């Protein structure tokens, strides 16, 4: 595909990327040089990943992603927590998992109808 000036979109994109790199626009990006953590992305159901990525890039977080993040964080904390706190944490984790499953089932039922 070409733009009105005869330049292909690929060439235009490469040109803009090179200009941004040369001007230092990307020098201070958060997480530069660190691996990208895809844990939350792949924890999301495959049928919602692309939509979730768009929402996240717009700083809008769907409830499913919040629940998955909270579950992940709670699971990590659970392994390090003192025994006296683990029961309450497991109950909280169960509630998060249940809420997530209920929400997901409702969404699937809506699609079918």
25 occurs within a structural domain:
no
Give residue 85's pLDDT.
94
Q: At 2, phi and psi to the nearest 5?
A: -120, 155
67 occurs within a structural domain:
yes
58 occurs within a structural domain:
yes
Structurally, the chain folds into a number of domains equal to 1
Structure-block tokens of residue 18: 């090179």
Q: Which of 112, 105, 110 is nearest to 45 (CA)?
A: 105
102 occurs within a structural domain:
yes
14-36 pLDDT per residue, tens: 999 899 889 988 888 888 888 88
Give residue 81's pLDDT.
93
pTM of the model: 0.49
What are the CA-CA distances from residue 99 to residues 59, 69, 70 (Å)?
Answer: 22, 13, 12
Chain centroid to Cα 62, Å, comes to 10
Instruction: Please give the Cα distance from 101 to 93 (Å, whole number).
Output: 12
1 occurs within a structural domain:
no
Give residue 60's pLDDT.
86
- Give residue 67's domain range: 35-112
Instruction: Please give the Cα distance from 92 to 71 (Å, whole number).
Output: 9
35-73 pLDDT per residue, tens: 888 887 788 778 888 887 888 788 887 777 788 889 999
Statement: residue 4 has pLDDT above 60? no
Statement: residue 113 has pLDDT above 80? no
10 occurs within a structural domain:
no
83-103 pLDDT per residue, tens: 999 999 999 999 999 988 998
């Amino acid at each position: 595909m070409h733009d009105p000036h005869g330049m292909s979109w690929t060439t235009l994109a490469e040109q803009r990327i090179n200009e941004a790199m040369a001007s230092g626009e990307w020098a201070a990006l958060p997480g530069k040089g660190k691996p990208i953590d895809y844990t939350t992305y792949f924890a999301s159901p495959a049928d919602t990943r692309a939509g979730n990525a768009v929402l996240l890039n717009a700083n809008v977080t769907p409830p499913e992603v919040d629940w998955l993040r909270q579950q992940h964080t709670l699971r990590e904390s659970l392994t390090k927590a003192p025994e006296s706190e683990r029961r309450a944490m497991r109950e909280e984790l169960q509630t998060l998992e249940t809420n997530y499953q209920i929400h997901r089932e409702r969404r699937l039922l809506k699609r079918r109808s």
